[in-house]
Copies of this chain bind each other. A is one copy, B any other.
Amino acid sequence: MAIQGVLRPGYVQLRVLDMEAALVHYRDRIGLDVMMTDDDGLVYLKAYDEFDHHSIILREAPETGMDFMGFKVASEEALDAFARSLRAAGVPVDEIPADEGRYLGRRIGFLAPTGHRFELFASMGRSNACPMIDNPELWHAEPRAMRAQRFDHCLLYGDDIDGTMDIFCRLLGFVLTEQVVAPDGTVIAAFLSCGMKAHDIALVRHEEKGKLHHVSFLLENWNDVGHAADIMSRYNMSVDIGPTRHGITRGQTIYFFDPSGNRNEVFAGGYTFYPDHPVRTWSTDEVGKAIFYYERALNDRFMTVVT
């Protein structure tokens, strides 16, 4: 089979300060479905076009940010192979047994040099609310609110992004698709793909470890990006910037914040990537256009507000 190894971002666990407010945000505004609340009060959600049981996990906590991000891999054998590769490279790997109550198969986890925890898993239970399979209609019911189709990627801020990139590219099979490079050759930002998307994870160099810049959801098109902006203003949600376009990936986008202050993105479009494509490179003097193609300048919030 042509796509092997890591398939895609599978889930992300976020810390929110107030679960009720978070649910209004993720369920009623972004349009995710609540699949389950577990015994610890964690809430599991998914977008309407995802097959797996959940992709977003919310945990009420006194501090915001990301607990961990999980990637789905093609098979249990691939999972074992990644565990071996990581350990061979000196990366400590922990193993978490399958948890049927949470619809989740066994996982392996590791701490990346940027201070982020990543997990890999090969199986998750399928939801009843997943896309139809037999004579499938477009959807069960019309997508709601911002009509998010899937959890798409995260952008993470951390210090040793070279170290984390090395793990993803050399050990996990990701490919660098696009980068911002300083005049001295330092990579400031790196966009990595494990498939045909322009990015599945992105990293920005930053003095602190383990920071989350944003969690991103895919929309169908630019029309839905505008509709999402309408919803944000109608309900006075906190917006960072947009609607705009990224020069990097070409995605059409809005950044906004959940009620706890975690940044979200909804976006559409962006190019299809293939591994024979060249790396696209931006110089720091064009970084404004790289990040916000229409404004051609960064805003301070983009560089400094992380959780």
List residues of chain A with CB under 8 Å of any chain B CB. 1-8, 49, 51, 72, 74, 131-139, 142, 145, 150, 173-175, 193-197, 220-223, 226, 229-234, 236, 239, 242-245, 247, 250, 252, 269, 271-272, 274-283, 286, 289-290, 293-296
Does A229 contact B194, Cβ atoms closer than 8 Å? no
Bound complex: CA A198 to CA B65 (Å): 34
Whole-angstrom distance between the Cβ of A124 and the nearest chain B Cβ: 9
Which of B142, B250, B281, B289 sits near A134, CB closer than 8 Å? B281
Which residue of B74, B145, B196, B277 is within 8 Å of A195 (Cβ)? B196
Question: A245-B229, A245-B230, A247-B136 are contacts. A49–B282 as well, Cβ < 8 Å?
Answer: no
Residues of chain B lying within 8 A (CB to CB) of residue A7: 2, 274-276
- On whether the beta carbons of A294 and B135 are closer than 8 Å, the reply is no
Which listed residue, B51, B194, B223, B231, touches A2 by the CB 8 Å rule?
B194
Contacts of A277 in B (CB 8 A): 51
Asked if B222 and A294 sit within 8 Å, CB to CB, the answer is no
- Contact yes or no, B223 A280, CB < 8 A: no
Q: Min CB distance, A180 to chain B, in Å?
A: 10
* Contact status B294-A1, CB under 8 Å: no
Q: List 6 extra interface pairs beyond A3-B275, A138-B230, CB under 8 A.
A: A74-B275, A132-B280, A134-B281, A135-B247, A196-B197, A233-B294
Interface-centre pick from A133, A135, A269, A282 (highest chain B CB count, 10 A) = A135
How many of these chains are in the complex?
4
Shortest Cβ distance from A252 into B: residue: B226
B3 with A196: CB separation less than 8 A? yes
Q: In the assembled complex, which residues on chain B have CB atoms less than 8 Å from the CB atom of A194? A: 2
B139 touching A234, Cβ below 8 Å: yes
Tell me if A293 and B195 are in contact (CB < 8 A). Answer: no
A interface, over-half SS: loop
A5 contact set on B, CB distance < 8 A: 2
Sorted from nearest, which 5 A-B pairs have the closest CB atoms?
A135-B286, A223-B223, A196-B196, A2-B194, A2-B173
| CB–CB B142/A145 < 8 A | yes
Chain B residues with CB below 8 A from A6, complex form: 2
CB distance from A7 to the nearest CB of B (A): 5
A145 to B143, CA, bound (A): 10
Bound state CA distance, A173 and B2, in angstroms? Answer: 5
CB-CB under 8 A from A293, the residues of chain B are: 138, 230, 233
Q: Knowing A195-B2, A233-B289, A281-B133 touch, does A72 contact B276 (C-beta < 8 A)?
A: yes
A286 — which chain B residues lie within 8 A by C-beta? 135
Chain B residues within an 8 Å CB radius of A175: 1-2
**Residues in B whose Cβ lies below 8 Å from that of A272:** 150
Please measure, in the bound complex, the distance between the C-alpha atom of A10 and the C-alpha atom of B138, giving whole angstroms: 29
Most chain B Cβ neighbours within 10 Å, of A226, A231, A282: A226
25 contacts between A and B (CB under 8 A): A1-B173, A2-B3, A2-B7, A2-B173, A4-B4, A7-B274, A8-B274, A72-B274, A135-B281, A135-B286, A135-B289, A135-B290, A136-B282, A195-B195, A221-B222, A221-B223, A226-B243, A226-B252, A229-B244, A230-B293, A236-B296, A239-B294, A239-B295, A242-B294, A243-B244
